[in-house]
Structures are given as structure tokens and as C-alpha cells.
Chains A and B, each alone.
Chain A
Amino acid sequence: METKNIIIVGVGGQGTLLASKLMGRVFMDEGYDVKVSEVHGMSQRGGSVVTYVRYGDSVASAVVDKGEANMIISFEKLESARWLPYLKKDGVLITNEQEIDPMTVIMGKAVYPEGILETLREMGVKTVSVPASQLAEEAGNVRAANLVLLGVASRFIDLEPEVWQAAIRATVPPKTVDVNLEAFAKGRACTE
């Protein structure tokens, strides 16, 4: 099969790394060759973070080039716009509706752009937006927004939910398994 490219973007501290680790495990369990690469360090908390997940029969490079992502999962609205050039023409953009002000906005040196989702849709980008943080809070922990977004993403990946659930049990801290399964279910049940 052709190699699929997924980019997970967000703000440091939102759980993007766990999400990519979990996705990597799902695809490995399914027998794919998988490469996961994360850019972190400068952004453990508060900065822009990106991880790449690539899977297929044989994956050599871990990095996704511009215009090559089949899917972008964005944990924050502004980040979805920042990483848009990486999306394929027919790719899907899944984004959390949460807004996190970058430091320049907090300091009053810049303004948080308005109408990001509207602009994306006007441009013809296949955009799925969900209030992931709110749904995570309903599931029992606002920090589980990453699993809500994976739940949404799972609708676009041809795998049974049981595969995801097994990977969740094997990846997240034991105490948080129930909350994370619930968050995943809420995301998967989300239809726009």
C-alpha cells in the first residue's frame, strides 16, 4: 500500500506526544511499518509542537514534506492554520476548537486571528472541527482532549475500534484508562 502520512500539531503540554505514540502502536499492531518522529524540546510547554506518524508496507523517512499529509490532527485552532501547507489537496484536517494565545498575543504584540475555521472551509479544505477540550472535560478530564481527537481521527482510518481501545489500554497511565476510553468514544461518536 501507499505510505500514509499523519501530522499531529499542537501546543506543548497538550498531549500530542502521547497521541503520536498511541497511533504508532495502533499501526504497528496492525503489522505496518511505522515511523514516528517528534519535534520537541524547545516547546515542552507552551510552544508549537509537531509529530509525524507515517505507516505503510515500508517506510524509510520519518519526516512528512509540505503538501504530503493525508491527515493533520491539530490540538489548537491557530496551529491548524500554521501547518496547513503540509496538508495534501484531498487531505483531512481535524482540529480542536480551543484557542491558546501565543505569548505575543498575551503580551499585546499580536492579535489572535479571527475566522480561521471559516477561512479554511472557504479555501475548500476538508475541515472537521470539534470542541475536544470540552468533550474531554465531559469524559472526566480536560487533559484527555488528545484522545477525543484520536477518536475523531479514527473515523477516517479503516480500522475497528477494538484495535484502538487495546492500544489505549497499553499506552496511557493505568489510572486514566477509563477516562481515555470515554474520551476516545466521545470523539469517535462526533459527527459534524
Chain B
Amino acid sequence: MLCAGCPHRGLYYAIKPFKPYVSGDIGCYTLGASAPLSMMDACVCMGASVSALHGFNTARGKEQARRSLAVIGDSTFIHSGITGLIDIVYNKGISTVVVLDNSTTGMTGHQNNPANGLTIKGDPTSAVDLEALARAVGIRRVRVVDPFDVEGTRKAIGEELEAEEPSLVISRRPCALLKSVKPQPALRVEDAKCVGCKACLTVGCPAISFKDGKAVIDSVQCLGCGVCAYACRTGALVRSASEERR
């Protein structure tokens, strides 16, 4: 499962209502394949999310392209996602590719990569400008979204799925485990408002459990990303701004 506070959770939760075919890739975000998010249909090898999506969309046409997208992390995109993107533009595809830019290479242990401005030893270096790179290969629809803004992300991706030209959406938010990322105050459950519907459990967060008919948030694990609050239908998950973090 994805970590508490993981930016990928917001992205997956944002695209869930589209019931898309998700062409996946190799990285932490591959964990989005497991329930309850279940937001990945294929995962073959690094870079395959983009090239395979192009193949699917070419074979099955516009209607399928409207209901499918590729997800690929920033470092995997640099490794071999960009080549597929060039093919999409060159071959007049209309696919939507989402780069999950968390400013690191999460799953293998936080190595820096050419897109985050630090060498493998941590020294400052030039960073690949993903937006400029996408435009340079001919993508005209390039957008940047914040995955913790679930509604904004959902709206933007909805528009790109509809667009009949290739799009690159950059879902940008650093990995929650980076030392430079400061956690927000934990959310808490207002018991009076919680009706026990378990909607918050559909975001698949390890900080949320269910006890005695109500949702429970572990304030030690919760990093305050707020994605679960989008899932709650009764406004029972609230940010406890006054409460100091332990």
C-alpha cells in the first residue's frame, strides 16, 4: 500500500471516478494497483506505460483513449518514458500521460534523478524542465496539478482525457518521506459527524482504521495530506490545526 501522506494517493483518488484503463509503470505508484485504490491495469517494464498506452489507443481508437491514461514517475519518465511520448506525438496519437513527479526515486530508496536538481551524491545540478521537455517534443497540452488538490486534479485530467490531442499532466508534490517535506497537522475524526460509511477507507491509507463503527485516524502516522477528507461525505474528517504534532 502507499504510505500515509503519499502524493500518489491523491492522484489515484482523483482519477478513480473516470474508471480509466491505467497503463502503469515501475515505482512506488505501482502500489496503487492494490485494493482499495485498484488504479492500475498493466505494468510491464520501465517506460512501458507510455508506449503500451500508445499502442492500445492506436488499436482501439478515440473512445478508448478518452478512458485511458498512463502513469509514470519522474525518474522512470526520464529513464524511458520520454521516448514513448515522442512516439505518441510523432504518430499523431491523442493519449494522456500523467507524470507523478515526487522529486525523487522513491521505491528504490530516495536516489536523486535528472529531474530533481541534485546529483546522486546530493550536489546541486541542473534539473530537466519536464514542462519544457514535453513542449519540445511537440506536446501542446502540458499541465501541472497538485495531487492534494483532488478536485482540481480531477477537473484537469478530465479535460485532458477529452482533448483530442496528446497531453502531459504533471502531478507535482514531493515524496512525503523526504526530509525536506514538513508534515501538516494530523486530521481527526469528529465522532458526532462520522456515520461509519467507510468511504474514507477507499483511499487506502495506513493511518485510517475502523473501530466500533467509526473511522479512526492514527495521529502519529497521519501527515495531514487531507485526501481522505475529500472522500468523507459528512465532513467528519477535520484538520486539527491547534493540536501540536508529537
* Chain A interface residues (CB < 8 Å from chain B): 12-13, 40-42, 44-47, 101, 103, 106-109, 141-143
Contacts and interface: CB of A to CB of B under 8 A. Distances in A.
Interface residues of B, number: 25
30 contacts: A12-B3, A13-B3, A13-B4, A42-B31, A42-B107, A44-B28, A44-B106, A44-B107, A44-B177, A45-B1, A45-B2, A45-B206, A45-B221, A46-B1, A46-B2, A46-B4, A46-B206, A47-B1, A103-B1, A103-B35, A103-B36, A103-B206, A106-B208, A106-B209, A106-B210, A107-B35, A108-B198, A108-B210, A141-B246, A142-B220
Classify the interface of chain A: helix, strand, loop or mixed.
loop
Contacts of B17: none
A45 B107 contact: no
Given A103-B1, A107-B201, A41 B108 contact: yes
Given A41-B107, A44-B177, A143 B220 contact: yes
Classify the interface of chain B: helix, strand, loop or mixed.
loop
Contacts of A107: 35-36, 201
The 3 closest A-B pairs by CB, nearest first: A46-B206, A45-B3, A46-B1
Nearest to B177: A44
Interface in B220-234: 220-221
Contacts, number: 51
A106 B109 contact: no
A132 B210 CA distance: 22
Given A41-B108, A45-B221, A142-B220, A106 B201 contact: yes
